[in-house]
Amino acid sequence: MKAERLCRLCACALLAALLPALAAPAAAVTLEDWSSGNDSAWTHVDLLAEMGLGGTNYQVSGGQYHLTSNLELPPLPQTVGAASLFNQSIIDPNAFANGFLTARFTIHNGNSCVFVPMRADASALDFISFFAENDPDRIGITVFDNFTYVNGSSVPFPVENETEYFLTAGAIGSELSVKVWPVGSQEPVVPQVILIDTTYANGQIGLGGYNQVNHGGFMAVSFGAVSFIPEPAGLMLMATAAGLLGGRRRR
């Protein structure tokens, strides 16, 4: 009995030591704040150019990254747009495979939309899109295989032109999630959309814009600071393995 009691006391002491680390969120790493005045850390993926639609103007100014179509786009029966991929995620597709990617964004007109790709393979047009659209007003997640819909989920959400928002895309194992909220307001406690999907396990991350289906006009979106929180460390696994967070075994 004394030995068992001593083990329990040691376990409680270990749990007390772990709890602050378990409760504290991992620190966000700033990937880009555009203070360099250029996008040299990013690689363009310009589908507007590839489709003969005039290409995209990528410009850094005023502490933001602006993606604007060079031409007024015609209404098309598919989404068309452009993106930039973070170079470090191209070099190491596993480095940003699991975690939370947050970007500030602004949509400048009624036909434009933003998306944050994760686990992407640009060469195959495979990616997970975490998006915000203002016509219709909705946010969500779509999984693409060779630019073809595989899986997805969305909810209504008001997205206004010329209003800055945060978008947090989450990918932890098979659980995908998205949060969107206006800058200056309270961050949602839980994601507005959660999707379980096992299509992709790793890949590139980026920023992008597109025109909604059957919507003509200039594509025009902007992004502010971009940050990443890697998947939480294995402290929870350590605690579980030690039997500290599990239910007490019945005798």
Average pLDDT score over residue span 208-225? 96
Q: What is the pLDDT of residue 204?
A: 98
C-beta of residue 172 within 8 angstroms of C-beta of residue 164: no
Residue 141 pLDDT exceeds 90: yes
Q: What is the pLDDT of residues 116-126, one digit of tens each?
A: 999 999 999 99
Query: Do β-strands 175-182 and 193-196 pair in parallel, antiparallel, or remain unpaired?
Result: antiparallel
Which residue has better confidence, 131 or 18? Answer: 131
Sign of CA pseudo-dihedral 35, 37, 43, 47:
positive
Residues in the chain: 251
Q: What gap in Å lies between CA 198 and CA 229, rounded to an integer?
A: 21
pLDDT digits (tens, 9 = 90+) for 150-192: 999 999 999 999 999 999 999 999 999 999 999 999 999 999 9
Mean pLDDT within 31-56: 97
* Residue 98 near residue 26, CB atoms below 8 Å: no
Domain 27-231 homologous superfamily, CATH: Exo-inulinase; domain 1 (2.60.120.560)
Strands (E), the chain: 29-32, 42-46, 56-61, 64-69, 80-86, 99-107, 112-121, 126-134, 137-145, 148-156, 164-172, 175-182, 193-196, 206-211, 220-230
pLDDT at 245: 39
Residues of the chain with CATH 2.60.120.560: 27-231
**Per-residue pLDDT tens for 90-126?**
999 999 999 999 999 999 999 999 999 999 999 999 9
